[in-house]
Structure 1
Amino acid sequence: MKEDNRIYDIAGIGIGPFNLGLAALCAPLSELQTIFLDAKPEFNWHEGMLLPGSTLQVSYLADLVTLADPCSPYTYLNFLRQHGRLLQFGIHESNVITRREYNRYCRWVCSRLSNLRFNWKVTMVCYEAARQCYTITGSNPQTGAIQKVVARHVVIGVGTQPSVPGFAMPLLGDRILHSSQYLSHRAMIQHSKQVTVVGSGQSAAEIFYDLLQTGREGDQQLAWMTRSARFYAMEHTKLSFEMATPAYIDHFYRLPEHQKTAILQRQDSLYRGINYELINAVYDHLYDRMTEGNVMPATLMTNVALREIRPAGGNWLLRFYQEEQDAWFEQHSRHVILATGYKTTQPSFLEPLHNRICYDTAGNFKITRRYAIDPDHTLFVQNAEMHTHGFTAPELGLGPYRNAVIINTILGRDHYPVDGPTVFQQFSAPQRPNSDGAA
């Protein structure tokens, strides 16, 4: 067994963009000893969806650190400077970057940090009351060697897991797959005669557009099906952007629990919509093929819910329900791509901490405003707080803010500035004054 005898101030579990940003913001703080653990051999962000030309839906300023510390050596602009591309980026005049570029930037940050440990799969976290510390046990996926570290605070950033309908789970493989696996199957799917993409978000749109451009020309039957009422664009207005701020998080956090669920259901276009330019690009591509007399058979349908998949003569028979018409119909497909989103799950390695973690009536983490799931503020979560803090939980641009809050909480002082009221609109009703005039 390999055991690190140090007691770290922070141990991060999972090295995705959020915990990587936390590691970068912790790096210059000499008073914090930190370590970040991940089961993968190296950093790769949504590698199954790193399609050529696909872009982030946020500004390049929403990198790992800029919105908390623009002077950090780990900014995207410094990445460009170090690679001799800063001037060209200025000439390029684009506010967004590709996913592949973002992944390259994150891997560059990884190469400059000494507090990251890959090939470190966490299997159990226990609390030691005597030392007031957490013991984190794990193993090396390649060698099987058992490893342990001890830390006073733990930040859980394991990300979300692909969400797949229950009836499709037993069928997953080379020809029925979640969108997160698309790139590794792309070559085969491009040559398929029948492909059905299920879902309404950005991933579904990117895959459908990719196949429009690269699939079998002339005889590929391509379908894009969604239960959503329309193929809707993500809201792209400045007053809507104000909702991706700490001010709106404060408002949402104070709302009753039953209100939050209903509100989130009405906010799809704030975080699940499709990039406006991409929706238009899909239409323009279909239009251009039509004008050239070379129409690719393509079916686009909304208000249709996939309810069943079963084998049918070497293909798959898909059974859909048209919700507005209360009607059922079927279609065949050789390949099915389920762009059905992601879900938050509670990691099994936290089971020994059940008595320390706070839960709400639905069994979800009861998360404090400062992102802790225990009353002592020693256990924190990243991107697991949509039900408490709102739709901004997966927002890359809010990562530096959340990390600043976590670091400041652990330090007991405000090392990183945290944005105050930075919006023009008011989200909550004015407080009524008491009889003596005080609010």
Structure 2
Amino acid sequence: MTKMKVYDFIGIGIGPFNLSLAALADPIDSINGIFFEQEEKFIWHPGMLIEGTDLQSPFLADLVTFADPTSPFTFLNYLHKHERLYAFYFFNRFAIPRREYSDYCHWASQQLSSCHFSKRVEDVKQLKDGTFEVKVRSLDNDETSIFHSKHIILGTGSVPMIPSDLDHDWPKSDVVHTSMYLDQEVAIKDGKSVTVIGSGQSAAEIFYDLLQDQKKRGYSLSWFTRSTGIFQKEDAKLGREFFSPEYIDYFHQLDFPNRLEALDGLHQVRNGIDPEMLKKIYELLYHRSIPSEELSVTIQPLTEANHVTKHDDGYQLSLRQWQMDKEFKHISDKIVLATGYKPAIPEWISRFADDIIWEAEKRFKVTEDYYIAFKKEQKNRIYTLTNLEHTHGASATNLGLSVLRNQKIINSLAGKTIYPIPERSVFQQFSQDE
């Protein structure tokens, strides 16, 4: 009887984070892993690949550069291979266009033999010897296969977060989350009135896209957000140092309540809007107001959406200006929900619920090296790149620090330093004992 191969690790999900891990692990002979993704190919946030939008991280925050700038999987090598290096040079921007970043990741995924698409992980069990049994279904032929691994890398990303009061089985052509905006763009712009609910970069990008076509299509346009204002993202250089290895180490040492408080204090660093986007919105509004033209545009912060119901003349939103505690109604043909995302935690995790250390409901404790903490120390581990904000701070969803996370995971898997971790990368310090 042939003994089943046992991988050093199996990666579940192939988003940018696990794709980075695949690229960094590729040249290392001492560890072997395989990755499974249920989508048929890599495409990054397809509903938000709006032409003209940029990644909020610079091109150095690609899949590998911070760990190995000589890797064949750098963004610059992608440009070189596609004869776009001069074009990007003349483009003269530090930011990557969002659509090009998606294409870059797709290119990298096609070169990595460890990455397998149209493969859905349906279950994970731990065997008596501590290794993991992983059940994988091929979506091409509906066949099921079993794989064994010493460790699991959880990279299942996030799913749309829609408040329960707004969530209903409405037609997607009428009420859509930003994650599917481009799929429904034509239908949304066919409405007589369009309303964007939510704050942050996605809300601003969609509002601007709708604003550009408003005059031609003739709809009224509204934007309501619960935040206290339409504020730009903190872009000062010292402010950006909160996305650094040193701050992650500092944040991870805090106790749970202080970590949550620190996250609230970093709201503008994490969730603000790109200054250039806010500038483009304002300039378009200003030009369109000449000569004193009345705009069919409403922009109102300090306003929460509490409920939505279907009426003959559209959808009625129950809104509340929370600072003045004033409730009002708003009718709209189409609604775009820019309400963010939440971690996608697979159901099989519940099998380990009694063994995991939980810091709060649905928030498991995660070690400095990114594996889920168990009540009893495990030789075989479940590493995670998902559900990390409460343990590793603002870096949890930041592309610029995904490489650092994977450096630590690879070093932990190998039991030695494969990729050295930078010891001093910022000018400020966050405590006296550093």
Q: TM-score, normalized by length of structure 1?
A: 0.94
CA distance in 2, matches of 1:60, 1:378: 32
Partner of 1:118: 117
Which of 364, 381, 385 is the aligned partner of 2:388? 385
How far is the alpha carbon of 1:383 from its aligned partner?
3.5
The alignment covers a number of residue pairs equal to 428
Which of 125, 129, 154 is the aligned partner of 1:156? 154
| Mean CA deviation greater in 337-346 or 153-162 | 337-346
Q: Which runs of structure 2 are paired with 1:3-82 in the superposition (5 Å)?
A: 5-82=4-81
How far is the alpha carbon of 1:218 from its aligned partner?
6.7
How far is the alpha carbon of 1:191 from its aligned partner?
2.0
| Mean CA deviation greater in 270-279 or 253-262 | 253-262
CA distance in 2, matches of 1:292, 1:206: 26
SS in 2 for 1:56: strand
Which of 124, 137, 145 is the aligned partner of 2:135? 137
CA distance in 2, matches of 1:216, 1:191: 12
Partner of 2:399: 396
CA distance in 1, matches of 2:205, 2:109: 27
| Mean CA deviation greater in 175-184 or 374-383 | 374-383
Partner of 1:406: 409
SS in 1 for 2:180: helix
CA distance in 1, matches of 2:331, 2:298: 12
For residue 352 of structure 2, what is the amino acid of its counterpart?
L
Q: Does the 8 Å contact 2:194/2:335 carry over to 1?
A: yes
Q: Does the 8 Å contact 1:123/1:139 carry over to 2?
A: yes
Distance 1:315 1:247, change over 3 A: same
Deviations 1:38-79 (A, max 9, x none): 111111110010000111111100001101111100000000
Partner of 1:366: 365
Q: Does the 8 Å contact 2:51/2:99 carry over to 1?
A: yes
CA distance in 2, matches of 1:4, 1:336: 55
Q: Does the 8 Å contact 1:193/1:216 carry over to 2?
A: no
CA distance in 2, matches of 1:292, 1:12: 58
SS in 2 for 1:262: helix
For residue 29 of structure 2, what is the amino acid of its counterpart?
S
| Mean CA deviation greater in 185-194 or 168-177 | 168-177
| Mean CA deviation greater in 22-31 or 420-429 | 420-429
SS in 2 for 1:196: strand
How far is the alpha carbon of 1:139 from its aligned partner?
1.4
Q: Does the 8 Å contact 1:315/1:332 carry over to 2?
A: yes
Distance 1:291 1:361, change over 3 A: closer
Partner of 1:166: 164
Partner of 1:266: 265
CA distance in 2, matches of 1:172, 1:20: 34
How far is the alpha carbon of 1:430 from its aligned partner?
4.1
How far is the alpha carbon of 1:170 from its aligned partner?
1.7
CA distance in 2, matches of 1:363, 1:162: 16
CA distance in 1, matches of 2:190, 2:140: 34
Distance 1:7 1:218, change over 3 A: closer
| Mean CA deviation greater in 212-221 or 274-283 | 212-221
How far is the alpha carbon of 1:296 from its aligned partner?
4.2
CA distance in 2, matches of 1:294, 1:103: 39
Deviations 1:207-259 (A, max 9, x none): 00001112353731100100100001110011011110110011111112111
CA distance in 2, matches of 1:280, 1:271: 19
| Mean CA deviation greater in 173-182 or 60-69 | 173-182
Distance 1:135 1:14, change over 3 A: same
How far is the alpha carbon of 1:95 from its aligned partner?
0.1
Unaligned runs of 5+ in 1: 432-439
How far is the alpha carbon of 1:398 from its aligned partner?
0.2
How far is the alpha carbon of 1:354 from its aligned partner?
2.9
Q: Does the 8 Å contact 1:4/1:149 carry over to 2?
A: no
SS in 2 for 1:143: coil
Identity percentage over the alignment? 36
How far is the alpha carbon of 1:351 from its aligned partner?
2.5
CA distance in 2, matches of 1:215, 1:290: 13
How far is the alpha carbon of 1:93 from its aligned partner?
1.4
CA distance in 2, matches of 1:84, 1:141: 34
CA distance in 2, matches of 1:346, 1:255: 24
Partner of 1:338: 337
SS in 1 for 2:5: strand
How far is the alpha carbon of 1:88 from its aligned partner?
2.4
How far is the alpha carbon of 1:261 from its aligned partner?
1.2
The answer to whether structure 1 residue 275 and structure 2 residue 274 are counterparts is yes
Distance 1:155 1:221, change over 3 A: same
Q: Which runs of structure 2 are paired with 1:282-321 in the superposition (5 Å)?
A: 282-291=281-290, 296-321=295-320
Unaligned runs of 5+ in 2: none
For residue 419 of structure 1, what is the amino acid of its counterpart?
P
How far is the alpha carbon of 1:339 from its aligned partner?
0.2
Q: TM-score, normalized by length of structure 2?
A: 0.95
The answer to whether structure 1 residue 147 and structure 2 residue 145 are counterparts is yes
RMSD across aligned C-alpha pairs, in angstroms? 1.7
Deviations 1:8-53 (A, max 9, x none): 1111000000000000011111122210001111111100100001
